[in-house]
Every structure is written in C-alpha cells, then in structure tokens.
Amino acid sequence: MDSRAASGGMARRTFLAASLSGIAAVSLSSCIWPQPSPTRTPTPSPTATSTPTPGVPEPTAMRRSKWATDPFARGAFSFDAVGSTPELREALAEPVGERLVFAGEACSTDAPGSLQGAWRSGLVAASHVMRLGESGERVAVIGAGVAGLTAARALVEDGFEVVVIEARDRIGGRIHSVDDDEFGGTVELGAMFVHDAPALEDELAEASVDLRPVDPTTLVRSVEGEAVEPSPVGRQAIAEAQAWALEQPADVSLAAALAGSGIAPLSSEAGPDGLSPADWLRHALASGVEPDTGAPATRVSAQQFEPGRFALRQAAGPTGAIVTGELADWVDAIAETVDVVVSSVVVRVAYDDEQVSLRLGTGESLTVDRVVVTVPLGVLQTDTIAFDPALPLLHQRAISGLGMGVVDTVWIAFEEPFWRADAATDAATSDAPVLLSVVGEVPTVVMWIDAGVARGTGEPVLVGIIAAEQARRLEELNEREFRMAVLPALEPFARAGG
C-alpha cells in the first residue's frame, strides 16, 4: 500500500466543529482515515556524502529513527526511574473521575515499554469507558497509536461514537513502517519484536503480519575483532547490586547501587582474553541496561529494573519473535472501522462531571462525553497538553516519577554480509548469531541485529541499536555526521572478516 499524504482544509474544520453525533453522516475528507491512511512512509533513503570507514564497506542504504526529538513522542518508551513503583503505572491507568482515561505502554504493569503493553492498555481503557458510560455516547481518543486505535475500535464495536485525534500526519504512533526499495521492502523504525503474547500474535496473524521466532544466539567481539566468550561477570555484578539495593530504606539508581554496595569499581586487570571484569560490567550496562530502558544506569531504579522486561531484549528468549511482515498492515486493520483526524494537535483538555471539552492548536474545539488520552509519557511530561482542572496528584506523580527512555534504530544495507563467518551461508537455516556486540569500549551502537538472519532471508542488512545519551547526542547530528559516527562501530566485525 503506497503512502497517502494527509492535507488540511475546511473539510476537517467543518468536521471538528460539528457534533460527533453526526460522524456517520459526514463525508470523510482527506484528513480523516481511511482516506488517506499515512501509516507507511515510502520516501527515499536520505543520501549522505561518502566517508570511508577503514575496513567497513560503503553502505547501499541507511535509515534511522529519531524518537527523542519527535515532538509527538519525546522518547521511545517508559522505564522505571529511581523512586518509581508499579503502583505509579496502576495510578496512571485509573480513570480520572468518570470522564478521563489514560492508556499507553506506560500504563502497563506487566509489559511496559512494549508493543503488547500498549495494545493491552487500549483494551483496558476501552473497558473503563464501557463501565463508566453507555452505548451511543460520544468519545474522543487522543492519539492514533496502537493503544488509541485499539481502544477506539473496541468502543465502536460496543456502540460508542468515536473519533481519534492524531497530531501526526500518519497513524501508528511509535509503530513506523517505511517502504524503501533500497532495502528490498519495508523497514520498521519503531517496534520490531513480540514477546510471550499469544493473543497479540493471533491478532497480528489475522492482519497477515508474519512473525518469526528469534534464535537468541549472540556474538561478542573485542575491539581488535577477536571473537570472545561472553562473561557473566557484569550481569552478576548488576544482580548483586540490586540485591543490596532491595535491602536499603530508599530506592537508588543502579549506578549508585553498584558503588554503594562496594561491588564497583571492578578490577581493570585484563584476563587471558585481554578483557577485564570492568570491561564486562561496562558491556552489561551498555548492551543490556541501556537498550532495555533507554536510559543510563544513573537514572534507572536499582530496585525495579528487571533485565529482559523491556522492548529490545525481549527478542533474546525462547518465546521472542521478530516481525517479518509489516506492522503497518496491523495498524491499518485496527483503524478500518475508526474515524481518525490527522495533523490535529490537542492542546487543552477541560473536563467536569458532565462532559469533556478539547481545544486544538488551530483554535478549534470539540465537546464529547468522555476522552481516552493515549499520548506517550514523554509528551505528558511536557506542557503540550494542559488539563483543566489539573490532574489528581497520583496521576501527576506517575507522570513525573516514571522515566522516558530513548532507543533509536539505524537500518544499514550492504552489498555483502561481511560480518558473518560465512557470507555464503543460507541465513534462513543457519545458526549464525543474531545479536552482535563489542566489548572493551564505550560503544556508539550498543548492539547490532543481523536482520537477514533474524528474518530468515539472508539479506545483508544490519539494525543498529543506539540507546540513552548516545541516542540523544546522535539525533542532533546531520546525515553525514551521523554516518561518520555509526559506521566505525562496525570496524571490529570488518577486521575479523566475519
């Protein structure tokens, strides 16, 4: 399905000025989904001046995400910052009176920071509205991501009159499928993995979105390019620091727990492989904690951090699966029965015991019976949306107490998979490593995913994971500067010759 660009104009304004009771009678304009549905973005890959990196071939294509500087995301997903608890997420998911409900991955206690967490939260939010309201009521959903569209579809099926208001010119939120012929198809700049979620997998299958189980085999190389046996020293140090933190009267950061417990600093004396315990601790933090949370160890709660719970690392397990189809197909399927107004920013939500009034950045307003707010936590932490009256203290505490992490992906295509031990191996059947990382340095790219092996296609495509402060720094670079910053992270694999 090609891109279908959205436009503004009088049709959208007439729609918003009208009562939602007339939704069914309104002729949908070019700003109302599904005409058009800008889920995918098929614009060509940006070009950059060629700057050779020693040993690393010139890429044929490159794509990257920039979630921190996206004004409608302000980050990739939530994480448990110092002092946060599961109760904060529960509080955020609780209805405000009988008119206002929140949804999104930040509201999930069992799968925060994940696709399934966002999806489930949309179903929960819809159930709250069904309990509080009655069929036929008018409901506005703010945000056309997975949570918002899922809630909207459930409410429509239950007889509510629903409109989804989306700030972007596309639907999908932090699902962003990009059609790019230089990659031979679609790349996913947002969510890519599903973990231990049979119900969600069934729904994806119904939308013809294929998944493939991910073999969590890994390859770690030294800076010099030598393959090394991963050491558990770093992970053990983190676990011991967490055990110490759980005995303290107040939560501390993971970094503070490592220092306060006396576990860190670890020895910097190199072993037979040329690597020290300190090297392996840095590797565990960079390739584990940071992509799990999108934050440095100085901000992550030592008491609440659970390795493997968050978005990326969920792939590294027996029940992890990578999307081999197109998540855009699922988003489009959810939105088939839902009216969506795009390119419309909600700036004010005023609510009382009788109704909810929404004000848009254009000055237009809309009155509904209830509202479901699904904008990302990072947006709630800004003053983009004003709530009148102010949200209850527990909701305010949840919004300020949880953290918003940054994890970006960079997709890079090459002529040949130079990083594989045997470039001629059929990746669809081989046991080649899926996750690649480097130990012995502070990496710009904390991990590489061999997309060809993970997807079983053999394509010479790598997906780099850039996390925390490195992600924020690199988002500020132009395309040429970014290229120069990330390609050197592949030098150890080029030196090794696979």
- As a whole number, mean pLDDT of residues 346-365 equals 97
Q: Residue 114: pLDDT above 60? A: yes
- As a whole number, mean pLDDT of residues 232-253 equals 96
Considering just the CA atoms, what is the radius of gyration of the chain in Å? 23
- Contacts of residue 69, defined as CB under 8 A and 6 or more positions apart, other chains included, come to 475, 476
**pLDDT value of position 431:** 66
**pLDDT value of position 6:** 35
- The DSSP H or E segment spanning 91 is helix 86-93
**pLDDT value of position 37:** 42
**pLDDT value of position 307:** 73
Distance CA(494)–CA(498), nearest Å, equals 7
Q: Residue 330: pLDDT above 70? A: yes
pTM of structure: 0.88
Do residues 193 and 115 make contact, with C-beta atoms less than 8 angstroms apart? yes
pLDDT: which is higher, 151 or 52: 151
Q: Residue 429: pLDDT above 60? A: no
- Contacts of residue 49, defined as CB under 8 A and 6 or more positions apart, other chains included, come to 480
Selection from 222, 290, 219 nearest residue 436 by Cα: 219
pLDDT per position as a tens digit, 14-51 = 334 333 333 322 222 223 333 334 455 544 444 444 55
Quick one: the chain helix, strand, coil %, rounded to 5? Answer: 35, 20, 45
Distance CA(28)–CA(413), nearest Å, equals 40
pLDDT per position as a tens digit, 56-98 = 999 999 999 999 999 999 999 999 999 999 999 999 999 999 9
**pLDDT value of position 306:** 85
- As a whole number, mean pLDDT of residues 320-348 equals 94
Structure tokens, 160: 């509510």
List the 218-222 sheet strands across, edge first: 61-64, 407-413, 461-467, 447-450, 435-439, 218-222, 227-228
Residue 340's DSSP bridge partners are 33, 164
Give the right CATH number for 61-67+215-316+406-496 from 3.30.300.30, 3.10.20.520, 3.90.660.10, 3.30.450.40. Answer: 3.90.660.10
Distance CA(468)–CA(415), nearest Å, equals 30
Q: Which of 356-370, 416-430, 462-476 has the lowest mean pLDDT?
A: 416-430
Distance CA(386)–CA(367), nearest Å, equals 16
b (16+ CB within 10 A) / e for 295-308: bbbebbbbbbbebe
For 97-210, where are the alpha helices, taking DSSP H only? Answer: 115-132, 146-157, 198-206
pLDDT per position as a tens digit, 254-296 = 999 999 999 999 999 999 989 999 999 999 999 999 999 999 9
**Domain ranges across the chain:** 10-36+76-210+325-397, 61-67+215-316+406-496
- As a whole number, mean pLDDT of residues 357-380 equals 97
Question: Which whole-number Å values give the CA distances from 428 to 89, 194, 219, in the listed order?
Answer: 40, 19, 18
Q: Residue holding tokens 């049709």?
A: 11
> What angle separates helix 146-157 from helix 115-132, to the nearest 10 degrees?
40
Q: Residue 225: pLDDT above 80? A: yes
Distance CA(390)–CA(372), nearest Å, equals 16
Do residues 110 and 82 make contact, with C-beta atoms less than 8 angstroms apart? no
**pLDDT value of position 102:** 98
- Contacts of residue 303, defined as CB under 8 A and 6 or more positions apart, other chains included, come to 242, 245, 246, 251, 252
Mean pLDDT taken over the chain: 87
Do residues 174 and 143 make contact, with C-beta atoms less than 8 angstroms apart? no
- As a whole number, mean pLDDT of residues 355-383 equals 97
What is 10-36+76-210+325-397's CATH number?
3.50.50.60
